[in-house]
Amino acid sequence: MPRTVVTGGAGFLGSHLCEELLALGHEVICIDNLSTGDTLNVAHLTGENFTFIRQDVTNFVTIPGEVDYILHFASPASPVDYLERPIPTLKVGSLGTHNTLGLAKDKGARFLLASTSEVYGDPLVHPQTEDYWGNVNPIGPRGVYDEAKRFAEAMTMAYNRFHGVETRIVRIFNTYGPRMRLNDGRVVPNFIKQALRGEPITVYGDGSQTRSFCYVDDLVRGILALLFSDLDQPCNIGNPNEMTILEFAEAIIRFSNSKSKIVYEDLPEDDPKQRKPDISRAKSLLNWEPSIYLDEGIKKTTAYFKDRV
Ligand code: UDP
Atom 19 in ligand 1: residue holding the nearest Cα? 186
Structure confidence at residue 207 (pLDDT):
98
Pocket lining: 186 vs ligand 1, CB cutoff 6 Å: yes
Q: How far is the CA of 186 from the centre of ligand 1 (A)?
A: 6
Measure 187 CA to ligand 1 centroid, in angstroms: 5
User: Which among 144, 16, 18 is positioned nearest to 69, based on CA atoms?
Assistant: 18
Mean pLDDT of the region 97-110: 98
User: Does residue 138 lie within any of the structural domains?
Assistant: yes
Q: How confident is the model at residue 203 (pLDDT cuts 50, 70, 90)?
A: very high
Classify residue 111 by its DSSP letter. E
pLDDT of amino acid 204: 98
Nearest to 76 by CA among 156, 13, 24: 13
pLDDT on residue 293: 97
Question: 148 to each of 60, 92, 142, 255, 270, how far by Cα in Å?
Answer: 18, 8, 10, 36, 16
How much of the chain, in percent, has pLDDT values that exceed 90?
100
Confidence at residue 134, expressed as pLDDT on a 0 to 100 scale = 98
How much is the pLDDT for 258? 94
pLDDT, residue 278, reads 98
Is 183 found in the same domain as 164?
no
Residue 287 lies in a domain: no
Number of the ligand 1 atom closest to the C-alpha atom of 142? 25
The verdict on the CB of residue 101 being under 6 Å from ligand 1 is no
Co-location of 94 and 51 in the same domain: yes
Q: Are residues 13 and 140 located together in one domain of the fold?
A: yes
Q: How many domains does the chain have?
A: 2
132 and 190 assigned to the same domain:
no
pLDDT band, very low/low/confident/very high, at 133 (cuts 50, 70, 90): very high
Instruction: Give the span between the Cα atoms of 76 and 90, in whole angstroms.
Output: 10
211 lines ligand 1 (CB under 6 A): yes
Based on the residue annotation, tell me whether 120 is a catalytic residue of this protein.
no
> Is 55 a domain residue?
yes
Q: Give the CATH number of the domain where residue 7 resides.
A: 3.40.50.720
87, part of any domain: yes
Task: Please state the rounded mean pLDDT for residues 137-163.
Answer: 98
Q: Are residues 166 and 152 in the same domain?
A: yes
The answer, as to whether pTM is greater than 0.75, is: yes
Which atom of ligand 1 is the closest one to the Cα of 79? 19
Give me the pLDDT at residue 84, please: 96
Using alpha carbons, select from 246, 268, 226, 290 the residue that is nearest to residue 78. Answer: 268
CATH number of residue 182's parent domain: 3.90.25.10
Q: What is the DSSP string of 46-95?
A: -STTEEEEE--TTS----SS--SEEEE--S--SHHHHHHSHHHHHHHHHH
Q: Are residues 94 and 32 part of one domain?
A: yes
Q: What's the burial of 307, exposed, middle or buried (CB within 10 Å: 0-12/13-18/19+)? A: exposed
Considering the domain boundaries, does residue 284 fall inside one? no
pLDDT tens digit sequence for 46-91 = 899 999 999 999 999 999 999 999 999 999 999 999 999 999 999 9
- Check if 203 has its Cβ closer than 6 Å to any atom of ligand 1: yes
User: Closest Cα to atom 25, ligand 1: which residue?
Assistant: 79
Structural domain range at position 163: 3-175+214-237
Is 170 found in the same domain as 46? yes
Average pLDDT over residues 159-171: 98
Could you tell me if residue 280 is inside a domain? no
Whether 281 is covered by a domain: the verdict is no
In a domain, 282, yes or no: no
Q: Which of 69, 82, 120, 145 is catalytic?
A: 145
What was the pLDDT predicted at 209? 98
| % pLDDT > 70, the chain | 100
Are 14 and 114 part of one and the same domain? yes
The whole-number pLDDT of residue 202 equals 98
**Do 166 and 17 share a structural domain?**
yes
Say what the pLDDT of residue 82 is. 94
List Cβ neighbours of 149 (8 Å cut-off, separation of 6 or more). Answer: 75, 93, 115, 116, 118, 119
Using one digit for the tens of pLDDT, what is the confidence trace for 18-45?
999 999 999 999 999 999 999 999 999 9
Alpha-carbon gap, residue 100 to 109, rounded angstroms: 10
The candidate with the shortest Cα–Cα distance to 213, out of 183, 235, 182, 180, is: 180
Closest-lying ligand 1 atom to the alpha carbon of residue 191:
8
Q: Is the CB of 212 under 6 A from ligand 1?
A: no
Identify the pLDDT of residue 153.
99
Does the beta carbon of 141 sit less than 6 angstroms from any atom of ligand 1? Answer: no
Same domain as 158, residue 251: no
Mark whether 91 and 183 lie in a shared domain. Answer: no
137 and 193 part of one domain: no
Report the run of H or E that residue 246 belongs to, with start and end: helix 245-255
Cα of 22 to ligand 1 centre, how many Å? 32
Query: Is the distance from the beta carbon of residue 190 to the nearest atom of ligand 1 less than 6 Å?
Result: yes
